[in-house]
Structure 1
């Protein structure tokens, strides 16, 4: 089975995790990141970020690509990321 270059779960320092440092990125920067079609993991820059894929779902271009190619992403850790973009942005407010 083919695979795509993506993280399988949000890393420990993923900015989309509920336990990330409050106010870390600022609301404006987080809103920009969430509005992007995709986001590369900040630790493994050759991999797509699992947190961005989980929080954005089909709004993430990488998720849509995987679906078109019928390649399962097998993402875990959905319970560790914010339930909505709004909640994530509010958490990152300074």
Structure 2
């Protein structure tokens, strides 16, 4: 998981420089759990339970300070947001929206690109398929 930025005090002249970019993958990797063509079982149910708070839904967005879903290929301490997660659930994460507003993330990062693999439509669908999680609770 990637911790999100906390809200900061009012900007000063020294802090008005362009903020650092939000690290993220550009394309879903071959084992990305958001891909429909990836066989289930790569990660256990407990991992999907732990990551559920990274993904909101319309009207119930993930909070600004909620962690972001990191690519499993990211090095610990150098996590990058998962491209599949950004394309499917990023818009329902207030921290992602804030990163776009602050210029830390190109809005195109939250869109499926040309030639992308077929992705699940929601966290609930992905977790149900990949982790055996009941999407209805």
Q: TM-score, normalised by structure 1?
A: 0.71
**Cα deviation code 1:44-73 (max 9, x no counterpart):** 333211122222123335522332214414
1:29 aligned residue: 47
1:83 aligned residue: 121
1:44 aligned residue: 74
Q: Could you tell me how far apart the structure 2 residues matched to 1:63 and 1:23 are? A: 28
Instruction: Tell me the matched-pair count.
Output: 94
**Cα deviation code 1:7-28 (max 9, x no counterpart):** 1121111111111222332444
Deviates more, 1:56-65 or 1:45-54: 56-65
The alpha-carbon distance between structure 1 residues 20 and 62, as it changes in their structure 2 partners (threshold 3 A), is farther
User: What RMSD over aligned residues (CA atoms) do the two structures have, in Å?
Assistant: 2.8
Unaligned runs of 5+ in 2: 1-19, 55-66
Larger RCO: 1 or 2 (CA < 8 Å, sep 6+): 1
Moved over 6 A (4+): none
The alpha-carbon distance between structure 1 residues 43 and 13, as it changes in their structure 2 partners (threshold 3 A), is same
The alpha-carbon distance between structure 1 residues 83 and 24, as it changes in their structure 2 partners (threshold 3 A), is same
Asked whether the 8 Å contact 1:34–1:52 carries over to 2, the reply is: no
Asked whether the 8 Å contact 1:27–1:90 carries over to 2, the reply is: no
